Amino acid sequence: MSESSNEIRVRFAPSPTGHLHVGGARTALFNWLYARKTGGTFILRIEDTDAGRSTSESYEGILRGMKWLGLDWDEGPDVGGEFGPYIQSARGVLYHTDASRMIDEGKAYYCFCDPDELSAKREEARKNKLDQKYDGTCRGLSVEDVEERLAAGQPHVIRFRMPDEGEIRFRDIVRGDFTFANSDLDDFVIIKSDGNPTYNFAVVVDDARMKISHVIRGDDHISNTPRQAHLYQALGFRLPKFVHLPMILGEDRTRLSKRHGATSIDFYKDSRYLPVAMINYLALLGWSLDGKREYFERKSLIEKFSLKKVSKNPAVFDLARMEHMNAEHFKKMSLPAKTVVVYREMEANGLIPPEFRVDTEMPVDLKLVPGTEPVENSVGVEGWRKGRFDQKEFARLAWIINTFGNRLKLLKDIPEMLRYFYTDEFEKDENAFHTFLSEPGSRKNMSILADELEKLQYFDSSTIEETLRALADRLGLDAGELIHPCRVALCGQKVSPDIFQVIFLLGKSKSVERLRAVVEAP
Instruction: Considering only residues 3 through 42, tell me which ones interact with ligand GLU, judged by CB under 6 A.
Output: 13-15
Residue 62 or 453: the one with the smaller Cβ distance to ligand GLU is 62
Number of alpha carbons in the 13 Å side-chain half-sphere of residue 132: 12
Residue type, 98: D
Residue 13 or 483: the one with the smaller Cβ distance to ligand GLU is 13
Measured from the CB of residue 217, what is the shortest distance to ligand GLU in angstroms?
4
* Closest by Cα among 388, 379, 249 to 316: 249
Chain-centre distance for alpha carbon 102: 41
On whether the CB atoms of residues 351 and 419 are closer than 8 A, the answer is yes
Residue 179 or 223: the one with the smaller Cβ distance to ligand GLU is 223
Residue type, 69: L
Measured from the CB of residue 49, what is the shortest distance to ligand GLU in angstroms?
9
Measured from the CB of residue 223, what is the shortest distance to ligand GLU in angstroms?
12
**Kind plus residue range of the DSSP H or E element containing 341:** helix 335-348
Instruction: Considering only residues 157 through 216, tell me which ones interact with ligand GLU, judged by CB under 6 A.
Output: 203
Q: How, if at all, do strands 315-316 and 248-249 pair?
A: parallel
The dihedral sign for the CA sequence 184, 187, 191, 192: negative
Number of residues binding to ligand GLU, judged by CB under 6 A:
7
Residue type, 338: K
Residue 77 or 497: the one with the smaller Cβ distance to ligand GLU is 77
What CA–CA distances, in Å, run from 191 to 106, 384, 418, 501?
15, 55, 59, 70
Residue 255 or 385: the one with the smaller Cβ distance to ligand GLU is 255
Catalytic residue check, 312: no
Measured from the CB of residue 240, what is the shortest distance to ligand GLU in angstroms?
10
Residue 9 or 217: the one with the smaller Cβ distance to ligand GLU is 217
The strand pairing partners of 170, in sequence order, are: 178
* Closest by Cα among 265, 328, 324, 270 to 297: 328
Instruction: Considering only residues 341 through 400, tell me which ones interact with ligand GLU, judged by CB under 6 A.
Output: none
**Can you tell me which of 25, 26, 34, 47 binds ligand GLU, judged by CB under 6 A?**
47
Measured from the CB of residue 57, what is the shortest distance to ligand GLU in angstroms?
16
* Phi (first) and psi of residue 338, to 5 degrees: -60, -40
Choice among 258, 299, 308, 412 that is catalytic: 258
Instruction: Considering only residues 214 through 253, tell me which ones interact with ligand GLU, judged by CB under 6 A.
Output: 217, 221
Residue 263 in the binding site for ligand GLU (CB under 6 A): no
Q: Which residues bind ligand GLU (CB under 6 A)?
A: 13-15, 47, 203, 217, 221
- Active site (catalytic) residues: 258
